[in-house]
Structure 1
Amino acid sequence: MVYFEFEEIGNLIDVDVAVTTWERIILREREGEQYLVSGGAPKVVKPPTTDYNFMLSLINLVKVSDVSVSFEGLMNSISFEAAAKWVQENGFPEVEHYYLDGAYAWLSLSRFRREVVTLWLLFHLWLALLYEDEKEITRYLQSLAARNISDFSFRRKKITAQQFISDLIDQRLKEMQPRISAYLPNPRILLHTNNLFTVAYFQLALLITQKDETKGKNLKVCPIEEGGCGNLFWGHGNRKFCPLCDRRTAYSRRKKKNKNSN
């Protein structure tokens, strides 16, 4: 087996992925399980796959901040409405059934929630490692291990967490394939996938390999006290609010909050 290890091969331009969005996403039940189901007219879009905010938009769907809540509790914090809105805007991250009962695409709500919560836990486990918070490392790791995602055995917590992150992301990236685009004047290597969960895990892998000072500077929280929404986002320079909260929106919320408090 041969491994190519590199610090940089040019610059990442894109992940080659196109998805179909739909006018609406419907909740339907089949054999006792709830599904996100496509409805209305389709539209092919190309999601912003090189922007970390794509991955963070999935992570922000989890609304429980206390990791002591069970894995199922974290899953249930993702409402159908929030999941449907995400799929409507970004497309199905993956499809379990095609052309079934008059609908083109079906994805079980539990599958969607499970992948998002796994991504959320991995992200926060990495943050705990970054800030060397042993207590949080143990808590997040236990939440992941409780789902039997991995059966790895380790000697020390820190090695456990790092190896867990590496191996789990590696599992998720196996279906991503490199392709060469040799057209001059700009030949490129593309990474191809049909799965948006894979894209999110790839972005997490890229984020982990960023320099620590870059992570600390650009990974931000949209400030609730100033009219923001509290979501995590990736922003450069002096950017204070996430892509969903422009300054006008934040100002309006802040003004309304001040009015209600008087």
Structure 2
Amino acid sequence: MANEFPQTLTIAGTDSGGGAGVMADLKTMQERNVFGTAVIVAVTAQNTLGVQDFMALPQKLIDEQFASLAADLKIRACKTGMLADASHVHGVVENLKKFDFGPLTVDPVMIAKGGAALLADDAVETVREELIPLADVLTPNLPEAERLTGMTIADETDMEAAAVALQDLGAKNIVIKGGHGDAKVARDFVLLMDGRSFWLEAPRVETVRTHGTGDTLSSCITAELAKGQDFETAIRIAKKFVTAAIVHPIAVGNGHGPLNHWAYRQGGAE
């Protein structure tokens, strides 16, 4: 029967270098045995050395992409990534309210690994007020969590407090990623909508091949939710998937290299 196969959607920008954005999302979704689709919000000129340029697409074309998917496919879970600026964040929010694409994972992408800004300063408030309240899962890294909450996150107690603050903004389940810290073990804090919380940890790997880590985590969560996994299970699987992709690297590019998206399938889960 048509549309029985699990289908997912990424709403984000491209990465011409293949390591992050929509490219990383679709690779991850394919590896997790779901059919990935995309609404392209922006196009970047990008490689492992950085983002050289980007341009957001006209809102009309973005709207038409949403409508095209809704008219034909059965999207069971979706995620957002790079959304460029306040007007595009608002436009995406309006489409998410219009169409039912299942549980939403929000990866509040703000800055690329090389330091380039991927979200305009004036858009942070729009993300906070309009997008986060729609999120079933919110996956900020430490700098993003600080920006969204206005807090300084210096230790694990601060991470826990920031998760509560983000939940107060309307997001149901929070994953604050600890990869930007400097401890020997990278720890992520998870706060679920039922009040339960836990830490996920993995040995910190000294490597520059971590481009697209946040995109990969959020798209793996999305894939697992599309297959019917509960939120905790989806988050735990995604952590293992990303850890394997970092621990078993591939040599691509001369800068912040991409993850090995097929490491988990090849038995690389650690």
- TM-score normalised by the chain length of structure 1: 0.30
- TM-score normalised by the chain length of structure 2: 0.29
